[in-house]
Amino acid sequence: MCLLDIMLALCLCMHPHLLSTLVQFVSCLGMKSSWQFGDVYGLEPELLSLVPRPVCALLLLFPVTEKYEAFKQEEEEKLKAQGQEISPDAYFMKQTIGNACGTIGLIHAVANNQAHLEFEPDSSLKKFIEQTSKMTPEEKAVFLEKDETIRVTHESSAQEGQTEAPSLDEKVNLHFVAFVNIGGQLYELDGRKPFPIIHKKTSEDTFLEDAVDVCKIFMARDPQEVHFTIIALSKNSD
């Protein structure tokens, strides 16, 4: 059920139709187009000004390197020692499916912004979020493994416009994380981590710039890497 995620990880930086595939995926799962995913073309103020506002979530695709893995381990140990006050409103799930980071990033972005987003009455995505909202992060992951609707949508969306799908066993070294605003705090949600990461205070007006600042830190850890992509979930201005 992780075919779409492999497509996202392998092709987002190079495939011209990948964003439309992402939009199609959430549309097929019943999310209305009042908010839509769109590319962030650069981190400079003039390029950020092109992103429709407001923005309620950011997805970052980045390379998983030895430097990142070392930092991740240090960060986890530090936060376990000092603790964090995680909001009970935070929707967080673990990743137990290989290469499923794209789907989990999407769920994190959508589930933590239900007050903004609109869904079709029969939305399978909305139903999934409602059914899992009270579950533990681990229970949510198990539930996703068994969700037939999302699996079928994965496959049909990933195959759209593709001449050949990559093997499900193919090793992918790119990873998605989501950034959201929960109660005025900027959260990083990554299913590979044991818990959400709170970075700093934020607001609806400053969220995009605040989240981009954290993305810059990701990039600074591996300055030689160029495979970074940012996608914003923004209010549709059409």
So what's the pLDDT on residue 110?
97
Q: Is 11 a catalytic residue?
A: no
pLDDT surpasses 50 at 57: yes
Secondary structure percentages of the chain, helix, strand, coil, to 5: 40, 20, 40
- Residue 155 CB partners (closer than 8 Å, separation 6+): 1, 3, 4
26-41 tens-digit pLDDT: 999 999 999 999 999 8
Q: 63: which strand partners?
A: 174
Which position among 2, 101, 154, 215 bears the catalytic label? Answer: 101
CATH code, 194: 3.40.532.10
The answer to whether residues 186 and 201 touch, using CB atoms and an 8 Å cutoff, is yes
Q: Residue 215 corresponds to which tokens in the numbers above? A: 């993305």
Average pLDDT, the chain: 86
Q: Do the beta carbons of residue 4 and residue 151 sit within 8 Å? A: no
Q: What is the pTM of this model?
A: 0.88
**pLDDT higher at 67 or 162:** 67
Name the active-site residue from 28, 108, 154, 175: 175
Domain that holds residue 188: 3-235
Query: Cβ distance 67 to 221 under 8 Å?
Result: yes
**Per-residue pLDDT reduced to its tens digit, 199-224:** 999 999 999 999 999 999 999 998 88
Q: What is the tens place of the pLDDT at every residue in 68-124? A: 999 999 999 999 999 999 999 999 999 998 777 888 999 999 999 999 999 999 999
Query: Do residues 30 and 125 make contact, with C-beta atoms less than 8 angstroms apart?
Result: yes
Tally of domains in the chain:
1
Whether 175 sits among the annotated catalytic residues: the reply is: yes
